[in-house]
Copies of this chain bind each other. A is one copy, B any other.
Amino acid sequence: METPSPTNNPATIQDVADLAGVSIATVSRVVNGKSPVVAETAQRVMEAIRELNYVPRAAARILASKHTNTLGLIVPEISGEFFAPMLRGIEAAAGETGFDLLIHTTAYKKPEMRRHTLGEHNTDGLLVFIGSMELAELTRLESIGFPVVFLHQTAPEGLNIPVVTVENKKGAFLAVEHLIDMHQCRRIAYLSGPEGNEDSGWRERGYRLALEKYGIPFDPALVLPGDFSSKRAAQTVGEWLAGGLVFDAIFSGDDLAAVGAMSALREAGMRVPEDIKIIGFDDIPLARHLTPPLTTIHAPTEEVGRIATDLLVRLVRREAVEREILLPTELTIRQSCGCK
């Protein structure tokens, strides 16, 4: 290896210009490829760049150009199995379009540090996951025309913010209908998500709709509180079982909770699907490998991330975008529902 740089400090655009015998403006041009430069000089500049190992300082760029080339992602907390695919989609799409990704979770910050950590001064646009940002801040961002896209959450009324999510209601309906229609279930419990969670709300509606269609009265006692985690689900189902609640099936608001429910059922000596049938939601990668393999509603989680990011990028570029994108969900039959 040759000496990477004559001076000790990282090379600046000026160093490159000097070495190539041109002005910094020209260097900037060849770096950004915006305006035309004679091939020969461009050649010299590129060589100087390599020679000096020059990399433009991001900060200086941002300051001068007014955009950050960075997308922000705000989530309440990173909950593993569900979130990872979405993050993968986001990261992939961001990478492909040349944007960096700045991630913030709101769960671990001291309250006073939560404000303004992500916004117009360090990102070109924001991806906001379900209730992780205050309405006031959202309103402010919208008022200055800052690009924001919601993930799994429709915009509060009055705010014109696009959303990307999945067909929750339809998916839930399909699951419950399958339980009723194919497996003659009558007392189906719904294992819900966190209180106020929008996904869970829609899924409950789908659940009720299916009940209604088949003339089964809705029983509030069958709606079990949960938070989309295995732990809580195991606990809740265990308790309600001990409390004498009877049901013949569980429609779980998400797959992780379904795993917890199955675990509690097993502990209580009940068999899945013989005694209790169960269907989840999301279709996490593990679902097919569970014992028994989990019948679930497949949700294109990675796609959600990918599409939301593309949409945000278009927003950043001031292109027109859809106000709402609903990705399709579908019933993926395996064995926990009693099929096969």
How far, in angstroms, from A137 to B195 measured CA to CA in the complex? 48
How far, in angstroms, from A288 to B231 measured CA to CA in the complex? 9
How far, in angstroms, from A110 to B77 measured CA to CA in the complex? 29
- Best-buried of A68, A77, A263 by chain B (most CB within 10 Å): A263
Chain multiplicity (copies) = 2
- Residues from chain B with Cβ under 8 Å of A4 in the complex: 140, 143
Asked if B105 and A102 make an inter-chain contact with CB atoms under 8 angstroms apart, the answer reads no
How far, in angstroms, from A290 to B61 measured CA to CA in the complex? 51
Among A163-216, those with CB < 8 Å from B are none
Asked if B80 and A285 make an inter-chain contact with CB atoms under 8 angstroms apart, the answer reads yes
- Residues from chain B with Cβ under 8 Å of A140 in the complex: 4, 53
- Best-buried of A68, A91, A234 by chain B (most CB within 10 Å): A91
- Residues from chain B with Cβ under 8 Å of A101 in the complex: 102-104
Q: How far is the CB of A130 from chain B (nearest CB, A)?
A: 17
- Interface of A with B (CB < 8 Å)? 4, 10, 53, 55-63, 68, 77-81, 83-85, 87-88, 91-92, 95-96, 98, 100-105, 108-110, 113, 116-117, 119-122, 140, 143-144, 229-231, 234, 256, 259-260, 262-263, 266, 284-286, 288-291, 293
List 7 additional A-B contacts (Cβ < 8 Å) besides A58-B121, A78-B88: A4-B140, A59-B68, A59-B122, A78-B84, A81-B84, A263-B293, A290-B291
